[in-house]
């Protein structure tokens, strides 16, 4: 919940407005003004100038809030996760490889957190002009309209969204754990964007999201949307690097264990 009573802090309403406007402005840049220059790549990842340009725009627009930012491209203070202060968590382009290849599952993801707790989340699918806003205690909205997810009630009727982040453990033992986790579900979907996968669960077009070794900026906004929609999540620090987690998010709490 948004419990800060300091007069120096912006209101929750103004922060919602700012987050939506910022995500949509970044989406417009990615659609119409960004170049698809590759800055670096590895065997399993790619970094583009568009990510950096988008984050620079996002940071500039969020500056008016006076709230610190943790971003995928330009970093931030990881100790904020263990504190009690507000901070933004930004993925300026989630689904970078999809973006490079003109695949449609890409988005801008902006989360506002207080310590480990999500306060609000905005995920803007700029290809579809579809903006998710989740505020725990208020609900989830798509393009301003409140939605109620119609989740499956039985796991053998349910759809799980998942994926393999860059540098994921793809060894045989790790794959055995992965297969055991996802094989409980009727259908398995991978779209290459953790943020959009979580948005789909929050919307009710999927029922669970599971990923091992994901980063906070990939999921912060989605956690707010999951919670706002009445879902549940379990997040465990991996210890591999700061703000890296194994995450289960689902319609039903029993499906997160």
Would the pLDDT of 6 be above 60?
no
Query: Taking phi first (over 0 means left), then psi (-120 to 50 degrees means alpha), and beta for anything else, what does residue 193 get?
Result: beta
Nearest-10 Cα torsion for 172, 176, 178, 182: 140
Q: What is the CATH number of domain 155-256?
A: 3.40.190.80
The C-alpha angle 44, 47, 51, rounded to 5 degrees, equals 140
Instruction: Between 63 and 170, name the one with better pLDDT.
Output: 63
Q: Out of 90-94, 163-167, 222-226, pick the least confident.
A: 163-167
Question: Are the CB atoms for 87 and 95 separated by under 8 Å?
Answer: no
What confidence tier does 117 reach under pLDDT thresholds 50, 70, 90?
Answer: very high
pLDDT for residue 44: 82
Question: Where do the CATH 3.40.190.80 domains begin and end in the chain?
Answer: 155-256
DSSP 63-101: GGGT--EEETTTB--GGGGGSSSEEEEEEEEE-HHHHHT
The radius of gyration of the chain's CA atoms, rounded to the nearest angstrom, is 17
pLDDT for residue 174: 83
pLDDT for residue 9: 59
Close Cβ partners of 1 (under 8 Å, ≥ 6 residues apart): 119, 136, 137
Dihedral of CA 74/196/127/186: which sign? positive
Question: Where do the CATH 3.30.540.10 domains begin and end in the chain?
Answer: 12-147
Close Cβ partners of 163 (under 8 Å, ≥ 6 residues apart): 190, 191, 192, 194, 197, 211
Single pTM value for the model: 0.94
Question: What rounded mean pLDDT belongs to the chain?
Answer: 93
The C-alpha angle 219, 119, 252, rounded to 5 degrees, equals 60
Would the pLDDT of 152 be above 80?
yes
- Percent of the chain topping pLDDT 70: 96
Alpha-helix residue ranges (DSSP H) falling in the chain: 12-32, 49-62, 96-100, 172-182, 194-203, 216-228
CATH 3.30.540.10 fits 12-147, yes or no: yes
């Amino acid at each position: 919940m948004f419990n800060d009573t300091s007069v120096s802090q912006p209101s929750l309403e103004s922060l919602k407005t700012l987050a939506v406007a910022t995500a949509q402005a970044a989406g417009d840049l990615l659609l119409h003004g960004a170049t698809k220059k590759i800055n670096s790549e590895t065997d399993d990842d790619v970094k583009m100038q568009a990510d950096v340009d988008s984050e620079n725009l996002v940071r500039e627009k969020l500056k008016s809030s006076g709230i610190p930012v943790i971003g995928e491209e330009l970093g931030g203070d990881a100790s904020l996760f263990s504190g009690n202060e507000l901070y933004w968590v930004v993925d300026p382009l989630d689904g970078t490889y999809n973006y490079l290849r003109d695949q449609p599952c890409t988005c801008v993801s902006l989360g506002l957190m207080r310590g480990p707790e999500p306060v609000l989340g905005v995920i803007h699918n700029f290809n579809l002009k579809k903006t998710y806003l989740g505020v725990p205690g208020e609900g989830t909205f798509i393009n301003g309209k409140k939605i109620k997810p119609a989740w499956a009630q039985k796991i053998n009727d349910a759809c799980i969204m998942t994926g393999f982040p860059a540098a994921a453990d793809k060894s045989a033992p790790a794959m055995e754990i992965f297969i055991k986790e996802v094989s409980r579900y009727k259908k398995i979907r991978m779209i290459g964007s953790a943020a959009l996968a979580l948005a789909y669960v929050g919307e009710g077009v999927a029922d669970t999201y599971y990923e091992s070794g994901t980063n906070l900026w990939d999921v912060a906004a989605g956690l707010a949307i999951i919670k706002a929609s009445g879902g549940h999540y379990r997040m465990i620090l991996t210890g591999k690097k700061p703000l890296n987690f194994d995450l289960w998010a689902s319609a039903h709490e029993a499906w997160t264990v």
